[in-house]
A and B are shown apart, each in its own frame.
Chain A
Amino acid sequence: MEFTALFLAVTIVMLVAWFGRRSLALALFAVVLLASVATYLHHATDTLKLSF
């Protein structure tokens, strides 16, 4: 569900970047980037099976 929300959020930021105010697009970009990094950190709990 969080990935669907992220894709939806990116679509909204793109539409704001194309139609809306630049400052709003920049602010929404920051929110989406932070949300995607937070999602990555939330999922990155597997042990890395390194070969050395």
Chain B
Amino acid sequence: MTRGFAITLNALSLYAVALVLAAAFAAQLVLQELPCPLCLLQRIQFAVLAIGPILNVRFGPRPSHYALSLLAAVAGAAFSTRQVLLHIMPGDAGYGTALFGYHYYTWALIGFAAAIVLLAAILLFDRQFERGITAEQAAPGAFATSAVWLVIGLTALNVVSTLLECGFGACADNPVVYELLKR
């Protein structure tokens, strides 16, 4: 795997994270279901997962950048496992609406597990780490740059959304209204 191909794969992974964040937003806005604190924490971990690929696009692929994403994915998997276990009792309807038979936290666990496997797989290819032209000299293309700004934009939108939902106090365990929009 060449350095250029690895950077393209990293850009694709950023689009995947953007898709997850956009889907969570869509569910929040269309179904009027506000994310719970654990749900927000899982969204945060998906955003943290994107920092490694951003560094790979900016500075070129390095094992340490993939390690950051692995750490974020392991933490995210732990958080989503916690929420799966909270609703594991028979008869428990779960939190929020199910999508294709699974709740969002179950999809999140599948997503983080898939990220761990994919990160391990991409680390198998050593040629991407060979030092040739530096990443600083080779500016990222429009495809990768758009992916970076899409993820940054969606994360910034989450700052606004979470502020509206939780206000300046602690987030409700089962939020039903936006604290800052209450009349």
Q: Taking beta carbons and an 8 Å cutoff, which residues of A are in contact with B? A: 1-4, 6-8, 10-11, 13-15, 17-18, 22, 25-26, 29, 32-33, 36-37, 39-40, 43-44, 46, 48-51
Q: Does A14 lie within 8 Å of B86, measured CB to CB?
A: no
* In the complex with contacts A1-B169, A7-B159, A36-B37 CB distance below 8 A: no
Cβ of B103 < 8 Å from any Cβ of A? no
Residues of chain B within 8 A of A10, CB atoms compared: 44, 47-48, 51, 155
Cβ of B20 < 8 Å from any Cβ of A? no
Q: Does B148 lie within 8 Å of A50, measured CB to CB?
A: no
Residues of chain A within 8 A of B132, CB atoms compared: none
Residues of chain B from 76 to 94 with CB closer than 8 A to chain A in the complex = 78-79, 82, 85-86, 88-90, 92
Q: Taking beta carbons and an 8 Å cutoff, which residues of B are in contact with A? A: 37-38, 40-41, 43-45, 47-48, 50-51, 54-55, 58-59, 64, 68, 71-72, 75, 78-79, 82, 85-86, 88-90, 92, 148, 151-152, 155-156, 158-159, 162-163, 166-171
Q: Across the interface, name the chain A residue whose C-beta is closest to B91.
A: A51
Main secondary structure, interface of A, reads helix
In angstroms, Cα B153 to Cα A34, docked, is: 23
* In the complex with contacts A17-B58, A33-B75, A43-B38, A4-B89 CB distance below 8 A: no
